[in-house]
Amino acid sequence: MKIEQEVRGRSLIIRLGGELDVKSAPEFREATEAALDRHSSNHLILNLENVSFVDSSGLGAILGRYRRLQQGGGRMSLVAPAPNVRRVMELSGLFKIMPVFRAEERALEG
């Protein structure tokens, strides 16, 4: 899995590429936790544009980061999930707790 990060003020942007499953979810979790620790960000923007696959292991990893942010009074946004990724996410109810934006800039404004 490809993981890119960028800090914009107190927002941390994580861009994922590839498949988010049982194999890659721990990589995502560890990279994101380390970046959140380092930058004390209060807004995590997860860009899913280049994610081709998500299953329950990936959803669990996303929810885990959401919980951490929320406990510290922060928030989390999702950007541009592909239609197939969206369908799995819809089933999980994640869209009810996290806003979804079409582009990173929108999430930064939101």
Ligand X SMILES: Nc1ncnc2c1ncn2[C@@H]1O[C@H](COP(=O)(O)OP(=O)(O)OP(=O)(O)O)[C@@H](O)[C@H]1O
Interaction site with other proteins (CB under 8 A)? 19, 21-23, 25-26, 53, 55-57, 59-60, 63-64, 84, 87-88, 91-92
Q: How far apart are CA 58 and CA 54, in angstroms?
A: 6
List residues bridging with 20 in a β-sheet.
54
- CB 32 within 8 Å of CB 65: yes
Q: Work out whether 56 is an interface residue with ligand X (CB under 6 A).
A: yes
* Closer CB to other proteins, 70 or 84, in the complex: 84
Which among 7-15, 39-47, 55-63, 67-75 is the span making contact with ligand X, rule CB under 6 A? Answer: 55-63
In whole angstroms, give the CA distance from residue 81 to residue 84. Answer: 8
Contact flag: residue 60 with ligand X (CB under 6 A): yes
Number of residues that bind ligand X (CB under 6 A): 3
CA distance 53 to 6: 22
Contacts to ligand X by CB under 6 A:
56-57, 60
